[in-house]
């Protein structure tokens, strides 16, 4: 399809023996009668793209409008223009849970949603739904065949098979790129991906729960608001009028920045080298103005600041040039960050200063070594310019995209807090370290989300209203911000792709909201709903470069929490559980996990909500409390007290009444109470005296 972005070549580095192995691996999906025709195609893809995608097996534009005919092709079909996108749940085949998962998979590949849809990349430069189109088709086939007592196991996009389980087991257990420790590094992952045995699922790409740029926009909005409160002293009941935010990137995640700044009342200038990404966001209403003239960009910004109006400007150009202009013209920038895909800086995620987008791609293929050299040089220049602006009062933070790690690896060792390695963080904070960690994650607040499977906007409006009814804006400032967010969500035109919503909430809020939704389904007010969350959450991800950057007891390098979360969700009956390597910071730097739960209106699902949704949050609060994080200590202590008193919040509706209880929900209510282990206080002066005394 003309005009659709295509992924760059990832680099072909296999030996002749390995090349044969890669072809053999890909042909496992293809009947032998087709091998003579497909093998040369696969070889050409591998040499040109560094991956075998199996383009010939991508669903072709439909030639019929009959839903039943489409369903017979294993759920694999595309529109007349070749677009694969979410359809109403009744147009899919299989049991309810399987149909809901198929809807989410197709949404991840929508031309309006995916970064590189033909290469199955949803967002983040490299985050894939599957490795190839053969896997897509086979997974769709299994989901259509699945019963309510079977579980599909998926390993890096490959459907291992359907296995007998039971009704309350997950319908899908999914993993992506879980490398053995010695080989858990970018070089070995690149080899494994070329061989067709490893998938970079990012977070919700391989986790089948991406909802377009909306998925990160609430968190970005909260980050900007709280950065203004923390760094600039803006009162909690004020917006960011008159404040300028500067950053880069307008892709699947970073594209949320202009919209979030608009909603927060700020002025923003966001640099992006790929004009197609800018145009996508402008067409979707996620950025107001576009220019390739930095003088024009800052002039517009100055006028908007003076009028205290919100304005988002996309600068088509390199972010390093933007920083250079700011330094040279003594621009006043209060807040700043960076959202280039630095977890894949040498794979095209970062374009060096002095090269246009297409020239950078050409150099990446022709001379990867020179491309790497220019990336490092550009990173060194960028951090130097940021340092000059920081000295003038700009507050800069790392947005969890491995920017500061990339700068360190480019040779700027002084960016490390200890000047030697990255174990103690960097001289600039991560946004989780200062903002989202202590203010949200430690208190159990994180990015809850849902998808209305009817794809009817009326269902989304009904769930917005139900969610708003579950939030008391006077309970705390977090709930006030979240109430305002969902109240204004429809007005802010956040939907891209399926009818979905993002809403930060804590354990109590998520349980109440999910129960309210399930009750609406039960009473026939709305169709089925899938709930989930971003993996970037309280419990779901371990990464010292982002999610656990405010864990300071030394355990920020451990991945126990993420796997506990994943296993606990599987044990409690979530529909989908997924564990992946890398996330937004790169292979070997994060383990991230997520879930999906299909709400069918049953009391069985009520019981899963009460057990699993609460666990999905409180397991992470427990870990953060043991690390002595103040907010987590308070939240865990309150949870312990409620458990001891038999006052679990997970069975009470927002209106204060009880949802209907059957055998399953009564069994959940009868469960023994829980208890989180809390640390004893330690006298720091005593330890200093003992450790450093004579």
Q: In angstroms, rounded to a whole number, what is the distance separating the alpha carbons of residues 74 and 56?
A: 16
User: Is 541 strand, coil or helix?
Assistant: strand
Q: Are residues 188 and 243 in the same domain?
A: no
Rg of the chain, C-alpha, whole Å: 24
Query: What 8-state DSSP symbol labels residue 61?
Result: B
| CB of 47 closer than 8 Å to CB of 31 | no
Q: In angstroms, rounded to a whole number, what is the distance separating the alpha carbons of residues 363 and 349?
A: 13
Residue 204 lies in a domain: no
Q: Are residues 231 and 147 in the same domain?
A: no
Q: In angstroms, rounded to a whole number, what is the distance separating the alpha carbons of residues 161 and 116?
A: 27
Q: In angstroms, rounded to a whole number, what is the distance separating the alpha carbons of residues 630 and 532?
A: 27
Angle CA 251–397–265, to nearest 5: 70
Q: Which residues contact 6 (CB under 8 A, 6 or more apart)?
A: 116, 118, 119
Strand order in the sheet with 267-272: 289-291, 311-316, 267-272, 244-248, 335-336, 395-396
Residue 233 lies in a domain: yes
Q: Are residues 444 and 389 in the same domain?
A: no
Q: In angstroms, rounded to a whole number, what is the distance separating the alpha carbons of residues 640 and 308?
A: 46
Residue 675 lies in a domain: no
Query: Model's pTM, two decimal places?
Result: 0.91
- For residue 656, the domain's CATH number is 3.40.1770.10
Residue 455, number of CB atoms within 10 A of its CB = 22
Q: Where are the beta strands (DSSP E) in 166-253?
A: 172-176, 244-248
Angle CA 547–549–554, to nearest 5: 120
Query: Residue 70: what pLDDT?
Result: 43
Residue 344 lies in a domain: yes
Q: Are residues 451 and 402 in the same domain?
A: no
Which segments of the chain have a pLDDT < 70? Answer: 63-75, 648-670, 694
Q: In angstroms, rounded to a whole number, what is the distance separating the alpha carbons of residues 543 and 673?
A: 30
pLDDT in tens, 642-677: 999 987 654 333 333 343 334 444 444 557 899 999
Task: Provide DSSP, 312-345.
Answer: EEEEES-HHHHHHHHHHTT---SEE---S-GGGG
Q: Which residues contact 415 (CB under 8 A, 6 or more apart)?
A: 383, 404, 407, 408, 426, 427, 428
Residue 172 lies in a domain: no
Q: In angstroms, rounded to a whole number, what is the distance separating the alpha carbons of residues 53 and 672?
A: 50
Q: Are residues 398 and 511 in the same domain?
A: no
Residue 160 lies in a domain: yes
Q: Whose CA is closest to 615, among 557, 660, 573, 575?
A: 573
Q: In angstroms, rounded to a whole number, what is the distance separating the alpha carbons of residues 267 and 306?
A: 10
- For residue 290, the domain's CATH number is 3.40.50.10730
Q: Are residues 402 and 473 in the same domain?
A: no
Query: Residue 670: what pLDDT?
Result: 57
| CB of 292 closer than 8 Å to CB of 317 | yes
Q: In angstroms, rounded to a whole number, what is the distance separating the alpha carbons of residues 513 and 528?
A: 14
Q: Are residues 518 and 415 in the same domain?
A: no
Q: Are residues 482 and 345 in the same domain?
A: no
Q: Which of these three, 375, 401, 435, is where a domain ends?
A: 435
H/E stretch holding 151 reads: strand 150-155
**Range list of H helices, 434-531:** 437-439, 457-469, 477-487, 507-522
Residue 163, number of CB atoms within 10 A of its CB = 11
Long-range contacts of 139-142 (CB under 8 A, 24+ apart): 139/105, 140/74, 140/75, 140/76, 140/102, 140/105, 141/74, 141/75
Q: Are residues 604 and 517 in the same domain?
A: yes
Range of the domain at 348: 214-435
Q: Which of these three, 435, 462, 487, is where a domain ends?
A: 435
Using DSSP bridges, classify how beta strands 576-581 and 289-291 pair: parallel, antiparallel or unpaired: unpaired
Residue 450 lies in a domain: yes
H/E stretch holding 150 reads: strand 150-155
Q: Whose CA is closest to 444, among 631, 174, 172?
A: 631
Query: Residue 359: what pLDDT?
Result: 96
Q: Count up the domains in the chain and report the number.
A: 3
User: Is 492 strand, coil or helix?
Assistant: coil
Task: Provide DSSP, 565-612.
Answer: HHHHHHHTT-SEEEEEE-TTT-TTS-EEEEEEEEE-S-HHHHHHIIII
Q: Are residues 525 and 643 in the same domain?
A: yes
User: What's the start-to-end Cα distance of the chain, in Å?
Assistant: 74
Q: In angstroms, rounded to a whole number, what is the distance separating the alpha carbons of residues 339 and 359?
A: 21
Q: Are residues 417 and 505 in the same domain?
A: no
Burial of 252 (0-12, 13-18, 19+ CB in 10 A): buried
User: Is 495 strand, coil or helix?
Assistant: coil
Residue 99 lies in a domain: yes
Task: Provide DSSP, 66-132.
Answer: -HHHHHTTTT--B-TTS------GGGS-SSHHHHHHHHHHHHTT-TTT-SBGGGTEEETTTEES-SS
**Range list of H helices, 410-456:** 431, 437-439
pLDDT in tens, 427-448: 999 889 889 999 999 999 999 9
Q: In angstroms, rounded to a whole number, what is the distance separating the alpha carbons of residues 624 and 551?
A: 7
Using DSSP bridges, classify how beta strands 267-272 and 311-316 pair: parallel, antiparallel or unpaired: parallel
Q: Are residues 146 and 76 in the same domain?
A: yes
Q: Which residues contact 658 (CB under 8 A, 6 or more apart)?
A: 651, 652
| CB of 394 closer than 8 Å to CB of 327 | no
Query: Residue 72: what pLDDT?
Result: 42
Query: What 8-state DSSP symbol labels residue 181?
Result: G
Q: Which residues contact 479 (CB under 8 A, 6 or more apart)?
A: 471, 472, 473, 509
Q: Where are the beta strands (DSSP E) in 205-318?
A: 244-248, 267-272, 289-291, 311-316
Q: In angstroms, rounded to a whole number, what is the distance separating the alpha carbons of residues 285 and 676?
A: 45
Using DSSP bridges, classify how beta strands 172-176 and 150-155 pair: parallel, antiparallel or unpaired: parallel
Q: Whose CA is closest to 351, among 246, 427, 413, 271?
A: 271
User: Is 416 strand, coil or helix?
Assistant: strand
Question: CA dist 296 to 17, 31, 32, 314, 337, Å?
Answer: 55, 58, 60, 11, 21
């Amino acid at each position: 399809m003309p005009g659709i972005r295509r992924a760059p070549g990832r680099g072909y580095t296999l030996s002749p023996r390995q090349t044969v192995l890669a072809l053999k691996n890909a042909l496992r999906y293809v009947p032998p009668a087709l091998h003579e025709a497909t093998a040369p195609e696969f070889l050409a893809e591998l040499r040109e793209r560094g991956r075998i995608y199996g383009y010939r097996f991508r669903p072709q534009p439909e030639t019929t409008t009959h839903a039943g005919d489409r369903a017979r092709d294993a759920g694999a079909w595309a529109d007349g223009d070749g677009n694969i996108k979410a359809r109403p749940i009744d147009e899919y085949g299989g049991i309810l849970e399987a149909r809901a998962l198929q809807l989410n998979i197709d949404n991840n590949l929508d031309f309006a949603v995916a970064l590189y849809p033909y290469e199955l990349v949803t967002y983040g430069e490299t985050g894939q739904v599957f490795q190839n189109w053969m896997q897509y088709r086979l997974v769709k086939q299994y989901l259509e065949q699945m019963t309510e007592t079977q579980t599909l196991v998926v390993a890096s996009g490959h459907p291992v098979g359907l296995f007998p389980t039971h009704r309350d087991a997950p319908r899908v257990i999914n993993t992506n790129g879980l490398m053995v420790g010695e080989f858990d590094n970018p070089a070995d992952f690149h080899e494994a991906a070329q061989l067709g045995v490893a998938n970079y699922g990012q977070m919700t790409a391989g986790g089948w729960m991406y909802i377009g740029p909306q998925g990160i926009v609430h968190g970005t909005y909260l980050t900007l608001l709280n950065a203004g409160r923390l760094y600039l002293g803006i009162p909690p009941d004020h917006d960011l009028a008159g404040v300028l935010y500067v950053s880069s990137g307008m892709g699947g995640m970073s594209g949320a920045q202009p919209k979030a700044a608009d909603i927060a009342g700020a002025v923003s200038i966001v640099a992006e080298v790929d004009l197609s990404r800018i145009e996508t966001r402008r067409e979707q209403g996620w950025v107001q103005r576009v220019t390739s003239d930095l003088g024009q960009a800052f002039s517009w910004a100055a006028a908007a600041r003076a009028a205290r109006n919100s304005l988002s400007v996309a600068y088509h150009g390199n972010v390093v040039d933007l920083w250079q202009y700011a330094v040279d013209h003594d621009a006043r920038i209060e807040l700043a960050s960076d959202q280039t895909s630095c977890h894949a800086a040498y794979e095209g995620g970062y374009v060096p200063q002095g090269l246009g987008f297409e020239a950078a791609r050409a150099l990446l293929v022709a001379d990867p070594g020179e491309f790497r050299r220019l990336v490092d040089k550009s990173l060194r220049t960028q951090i130097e310019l940021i340092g000059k602006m920081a000295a003038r009062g700009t507050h800069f933070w790392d947005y969890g995209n491995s920017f500061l790690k990339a700068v360190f690896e480019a040779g700027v060792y002084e960016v490390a807090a200890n000047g030697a390695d990255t174990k103690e963080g960097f001289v600039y904070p991560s946004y989780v370290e200062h903002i989202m960690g202590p203010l949200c994650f430690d208190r159990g607040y994180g990015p809850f989300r849902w998808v209305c499977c009817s794809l009817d906007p009326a269902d989304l409006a009904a769930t917005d209203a139900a969610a708003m009814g579950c939030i008391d804006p006077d309970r705390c400032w977090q709930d006030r911000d979240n109430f305002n967010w969902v109240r204004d969500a429809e007005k802010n035109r956040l939907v891209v792709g399926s009818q979905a919503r993002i809403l930060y909430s804590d354990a109590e809020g998520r349980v109440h909201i999910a129960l309210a939704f399930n009750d609406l389904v039960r009473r026939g007010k709305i169709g089925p709903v899938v709930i989930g969350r971003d993996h970037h959450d309280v419990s779901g991800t371990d990464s010292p470069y982002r999610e656990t950057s405010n864990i300071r007891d030394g355990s920020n390098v451990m991945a126990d929490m993420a796997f506990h979360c994943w296993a606990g969700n599987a044990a409690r009956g979530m529909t989908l559980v997924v564990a992946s390597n890398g996330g937004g910071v790169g292979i070997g730097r994060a383990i991230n996990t997520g879930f999906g739960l299909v709400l069918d209106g049953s009391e069985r699902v009520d019981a899963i909500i009460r057990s699993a949704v609460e666990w999905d949050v409180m397991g992470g609060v427990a870990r953060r409390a043991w690390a002595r994080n103040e907010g987590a200590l308070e939240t865990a202590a309150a949870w312990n007290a409620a458990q001891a008193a038999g006052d679990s919040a997970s069975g009470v509706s927002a209106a204060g009444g009880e949802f209907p209880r059957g055998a399953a929900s009564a069994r959940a209510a009868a469960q023994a109470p829980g208890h989180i282990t809390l640390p004893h206080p330690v006298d720091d002066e005593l330890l200093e005296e003992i450790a450093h005394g004579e």
